[in-house]
Amino acid sequence: METFTEAKPFVENPRYFQDRRDTLAALDLSSIDKPIVDIIDGFSQLTQGFTQQSCCGHFLSAHGQDPHSLNPIPSQETGWIDYRIAYLAFCIDNSPPGKALYDGLARISESDPGYIQFGSAEWFWERHVNSYALQVEPVRYKTKDKVTLEYAEALEVQKRRDLFFGKVRELLERPWIVRGSLPRHLGKE
C-alpha cells in the first residue's frame, strides 16, 4: 500500500465530531515535539479540523543519535544526514469551514511544491475518512517516512521545514480559519 497519495475527495463522515472529541480527549501536548506544540494546540481550537499525528522532522547526523533529537544539523557536518520527515496529519470536517481549512493547507504546499506536499495518507484515511497530510521533504521521496540526504540538501530541507511551520502558523492566525468561514471576497461561501 502506498502511504502518501494525491488528496482524496471529501466523503460524508457522520462520526467526525465524535472522532474529534475522542482525539482531543487523548491529546497530550507534552508528547508533541516542542517546536510545534503551539501549532498542534492551535489546531485543537478549531472545530473544522483536528490533528491526528505530527512530527517536527528530525535530522540525524551521528550513529546512535537519539532518533527524536531536535538538534539542528551541525554546521561542521559534511557527510550524509538521515531525515525523518516533518509532517502534520489532519482530519477535516466535510463542511464549508472544513473546505476552507483544506484550501488553506493545500495552498501551503503550492508555495513550495518541490519540498512541501499535501495529500492523503492511507494509514490515516483508514482510521478517519477525510484525513490529509502536509509534509516536508524533497518531492522525489514523497512516499518515504525517512530518507538519507547529502549534507547540502539536508540543510535546504531544514530551511524549508522551518519556513513551512511559519506558513502553518500564519494560516492559524487568519481570522477566516479561526472563525471557520471564508470572507466573501474569496468567493468560497
Flag whether pLDDT at 186 surpasses 80.
no
Please give the average per-residue pLDDT across 18-39, as a whole number: 96
SS3 content of the chain, % helix, strand, coil (to 5): 40, 25, 35
- Residue 174 confidence (pLDDT) above 90: no
% of residues, the chain, pLDDT over 90: 78
Per-residue burial over 176-187, b = 16 or more CB atoms within 10 Å of its CB, e = otherwise: bbeebbbeeeee
pLDDT in tens, 117-173: 999 988 899 999 999 999 999 999 999 999 999 999 999 999 999 999 999 999 999
pLDDT greater than 80 at residue 1 = no
* Residue-range domains of the chain with CATH: 4-180 (3.30.1960)
Which has the higher per-residue pLDDT, 184 or 52? 52
Average pLDDT taken over every residue of the chain: 90
Nearest Cα to Cα of residue 58 among 139, 121, 149: 149
* pLDDT attached to residue 188: 38
CA distances from 63 to 39, 68, 80, 81 (A): 30, 13, 11, 10
